[in-house]
């Protein structure tokens, strides 16, 4: 399973605003030709605001994260931009949503939960990420990772990881914020 965040809602919003901008611009031109200058000015100003919203939406889509979170039979693969991290299930020690600053300061009773998932591997390596970037609810992602780490029979249902091309060729599970389940 490969999770990626969907940008369909932003695309739909962008196309709707383009439609509104076209309607306002044509209404402004029509009003200008009929001699209603005040109405043409108002419609033109509203069309400019709509164009500004279209430009802002296009910039947001351009900055959309090219991130993939892949669950495979033998490992977890995390791709964010040009960074690719792989964590074999056998090396996965802890998966937590706890604020790592609280643990390091020795404030065990005062642990705060965050939306950042931290994975600690056995050789001492650790990395963290925000599952919401991939469209996955943080607590559900943590629970799924712990189940996959502990239950080998559940991992058998996942595809094998052959190469980084698997992240491109496999179907994506996209959504704004979903609960992953097997």
pLDDT of residue 179: 59
- DSSP 8-state symbol, 47: H
| Cα separation of the two ends of the chain | 9
* Spatial distance between the Cα atoms of 95 and 120, rounded to a whole number of angstroms: 7
Q: What is the pLDDT of residues 89-139, one digit of tens each?
A: 888 888 888 776 655 555 565 667 788 888 888 878 888 888 887 777 888
* DSSP secondary structure string for all residues of 18-85: HHHHHHHHHHHHHHHHTT-HHHHHHHHHHHHHHHHHHHHHHHHHHT---EEEEE-SSEEEEEETTEEE
Dmax (CA) of the chain: 77
Please indicate, yes or no, whether the overall pTM of this predicted structure exceeds 0.95.
no
Q: Is 170 helix (H, G, I), strand (E, B) or coil?
A: coil
Give the bridge partners for 79, in sequence order: 68, 84
Residue-averaged pLDDT of the chain: 78
Q: Would you kindly state where each structural domain of the chain is located, as residue ranges?
A: 2-62, 67-175
- CATH class of segment(s) 67-175: mainly beta
State the pLDDT at residue 72. 83
Which two structure tokens, joined as six digits, stand for 133?
A: 């970037």
Under 8 Å between Cβ of 180 and 140: yes
Q: DSSP class of residue 136? A: B
pLDDT score for 3? 52
Low-confidence residues in the chain, pLDDT < 50? none
């Amino acid at each position: 399973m490969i999770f990626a965040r969907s940008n369909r809602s932003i695309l739909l919003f962008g196309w709707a605003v383009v439609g509104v901008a076209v309607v306002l611009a044509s209404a402004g031109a029509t009003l200008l030709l009929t001699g209603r200058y005040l109405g043409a000015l108002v419609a033109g100003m509203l069309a400019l605001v709509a164009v500004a919203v279209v430009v802002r939406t296009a910039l947001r889509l351009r900055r959309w994260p090219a991130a993939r979170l892949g669950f495979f039979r033998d490992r977890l693969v995390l791709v964010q931009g040009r960074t690719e991290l792989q964590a074999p299930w056998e090396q996965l020690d802890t998966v937590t949503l706890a604020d790592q600053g609280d643990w390091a300061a020795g404030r065990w009773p005062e642990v705060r939960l965050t939306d950042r998932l931290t994975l600690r591997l056995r050789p001492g390596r650790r990395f963290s990420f925000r599952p919401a970037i991939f469209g996955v609810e943080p607590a559900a992602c943590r629970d799924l990772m712990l189940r996959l780490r502990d239950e080998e029979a559940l991992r058998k249902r996942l595809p094998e990881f052959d190469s980084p091309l698997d992240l491109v060729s496999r179907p994506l599970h996209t959504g704004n914020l979903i609960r992953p389940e097997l």
